[in-house]
Amino acid sequence: MDHHDTEKRRLNQNGSSSSSSLFTTFAFSFLTLIAVTTLVLMSNFSMQPHRDFSEVKIEIKRVVPQHLPLSSENESKIKQETQVVMTSPNPNITTVNEKNRVIDIFRGDNLSDKFQRKAKEFVGDSGCEVNFVMTWISPANLFGKREVFAIESVFKSHPHGCLMILSATMDSPQGYTILKPFIDRGYKVVAVTPDLPFLLKGTAGEKWLEEIRSGKREAGKIPLAQNLSNIMRLAYLYKYGGVYLDTDMILLKSFKGLNNVIGAQTLDPSYTNWTRLNNAVLIFDKNHPLLLKFIEEFAQTFNGNVWGYNGPYLVSRVARAAVEGSSEEYNNFTVMRPSAFYPVNWLEIEKFFKVPKTEKESKWVKVKLLQMQGRSYGLHLWNKFSRKFEIEHGSAMWRLVSDHCIICEIGSASS
């Protein structure tokens, strides 16, 4: 019995040893196979030529299915130029093609002759008590009720005034339709396609325009149309003189008697010295030397990437230098206090569109309106910030529209 048990234990041990040896042999073979395979793969990979992915560029091409009709030549050109804008390394930078499309709206057959003739007739009209000028570079369909109300306010305070709108888009059948209600009432308003090269000829702006057109000067990320408006108003006033107005300026009383005037937007804490001017209203005699300085500054220091740099900041820089300089010819101008044209700043303009909800708000509006009656020639609506506001019935803007309208569609300034 003891001998049998001993033999059984010996057989079990031998069986276990055999199984362990077999497993070890299998595992070693498997690992060896993996190692050999890895070495072969690494060897093959190392034999491949080195590739530098830092220079890889992806080019996306537009494929036109053959069964579709091709676009017209003009449509293809526009699409090609649009693709250039989309694939530009910096999408914020305006391309040469895009710039030229904006500039070319001021070019055409016999444009210079047409513009000069209309401008001469406009300026030479002895029946105009005040000559006003605006610019409009957006499409005519965007000339909305608020812009129309701005025109209404011009003629409400100047029944015998004249208004020229420098605009290729408004100088059209659609633009004429917008202006027709004023023309039918006998008011002198006309839209004219401006000849920008003619206006800038002989000034530093002439070279600037050519550099922008050729691509030697970057237009920047600010829409070129905005900066064209900035320089166009200066060039027009230098050539012809008159009163420039932004299309969101509401006139409250006559400008007659104002000469060589710029309005201050802000004052220092003492309320005695201006800190910033604005170019939403400019009143100058033709050939005024300060206007030429404005154009020179525009051309020499142009920056298309900073909002306002070539507009309000520009007139502030040049006017400051003129005041601090010794030349009398550049000092022949007047800076009017903010209450003249900017009685409500852009941070508070919303209050004029809303009905006051508290006694404090109501008092603020009443005091502001009372001050404007005695001190203000106009009210800048700061469209960049206020365009989204609707005029609430009973608000300060509601009253202003009612008091200074001609066509008098009470919601005129809402959009």
**Residue 310 belongs to a domain:** yes
Per-residue pLDDT at 79: 34
Per-residue pLDDT at 42: 43
Average the pLDDT over 275-292 and give the result.
97
271: alpha, beta or left, given left = phi > 0 and alpha = psi -120 to 50? left
Per-residue pLDDT at 325: 82
CB 106 within 8 A of CB 195: yes
**Residue 325 belongs to a domain:** yes
**Residue 180 belongs to a domain:** yes
Per-residue pLDDT at 28: 54
**Residue 134 belongs to a domain:** yes
Number of domains into which the chain is organized: 1
Per-residue pLDDT at 329: 74
3-class SS of residue 257: coil
Comparing CA positions, the residue from 184, 195, 206 lying closest to residue 120 is 195
Crossing angle of helices 224-240 and 289-301, in 10° steps, is 160
**Residue 273 belongs to a domain:** yes
CATH number for the domain including 285?
3.90.550.20
**Residue 346 belongs to a domain:** no
334: DSSP letter: E
**Per-residue pLDDT tens digits for 307-333:** 999 999 999 999 999 988 877 777 789
**Residue 128 belongs to a domain:** yes
Q: Is the model more confident about 76 or about 318?
A: 318
Per-residue pLDDT at 101: 61
Question: Residue 328: which domain range?
Answer: 106-340
**Per-residue pLDDT tens digits for 352-370:** 999 999 999 999 999 999 9
**Per-residue pLDDT tens digits for 382-397:** 998 999 999 999 999 9
Check whether 178 has a pLDDT greater than 50. Answer: yes
Give pTM, 2 decimals. 0.75
Check whether 60 has a pLDDT greater than 60. Answer: no
Per-residue pLDDT at 125: 85
**Residue 93 belongs to a domain:** no
Non-local (6+) Cβ contacts of 161 within 8 A are 128, 129, 130, 131, 132, 154, 155, 188
